[in-house]
Amino acid sequence: MQGTGQPLHNAIVWLDGRTRDLCDRMEAELGSKDYFRPITGLPISTYFSAFKFKWLYENVKEVQAAVDGGQACWGTIDSWLIFQLTGGRRGGLHITDVSNASRTMLMDLATCQWHDPFLPLFHMTHDALPRIVSNAEVYGAVHDPGSPFHGVPISGCLGDQMAAVLGQRCGEGEAKNTYGTGCFMLLNTGPQ
């Protein structure tokens, strides 16, 4: 929440199925499971964060009040961690990297920016979202004066399967499967 930096609700993780009815309802209203795919590359699914955001808005009165009052900040776990590490409510950075932003269902793959026309569908505002940054740049530094990590630069952020593609050194045109709770195949498409 803006001003306090306190969470309004527990995190809803990717495997949580509470958004199933919401996804079904949106698919029926929009006319296709692939409504968002031309912009985001993603089908309507309980997996993606935008549906978690919308579910919270519709089911948690504290979230709805904060959003409607312009006091909510949304983000994935990376944005929360970077915010806390860089000072939290005392000037922490509200950012997310492009790999995590791309899995929210709100980022335009062509521009690597939030796709404003989709935001109202999820009760989202541009001001509530973190700024999208690259995977590797100096974002800021740890702000914890009593810690030996105070001043250490934070200079990288990369999402789950995308980090595995980088870690396995997949070149352009190469694909990698990541096996864990699910099986995810990612292809390095290069600059496109």
What is the pTM for the complete model shown? 0.90
| 123 neighbors 179 (Cβ within 8 angstroms) | no
pLDDT, average across residues 109-114: 96
| pLDDT, tens only, 29-64 | 999 999 999 999 999 999 999 999 999 999 999 999
- The two three-digit tokens of residue 163, written as one number: 């980090």
Looking at 44-169, list the stretches that DSSP marks H as alpha helix, in order from N- to C-terminal side. 49-59, 61-68, 77-85, 98-101, 160-167
pLDDT per position as a tens digit, 118-132: 999 999 999 999 999
Give the residue from 72, 50, 51 showing the smallest Cα distance to 61: 72
CA angle 44, 102, 187 (to 5 degrees): 95
Task: Count the Cβ atoms, other than its own, within 10 Å of residue 41.
Answer: 14
For the chain, the domains span 19-158, 159-191
Q: Which stretches of the chain are DSSP H helices?
A: 20-30, 37-40, 49-59, 61-68, 77-85, 98-101, 160-167
Distance CA 60, CA 9 (A): 8
Mean pLDDT of 18-26: 95
CA distance 78 to 98: 11
Backbone angles phi, psi at 162, to 5 degrees: -65, -35
Give the three-state DSSP class for 148: coil
In this prediction, what percent of the chain has a pLDDT beyond 90? 74
User: For residue 135, what pLDDT band results from cuts at 50, 70 and 90?
Assistant: very high
Specify whether the CB–CB gap between 43 and 34 falls below 8 A. Answer: yes
pLDDT band at 3 (very low <50, low <70, confident <90, very high): low
CA–CA separation, 189 and 125 (whole Å):
30
- Could you tell me which CATH number the domain at 19-158 has? 3.30.420.40
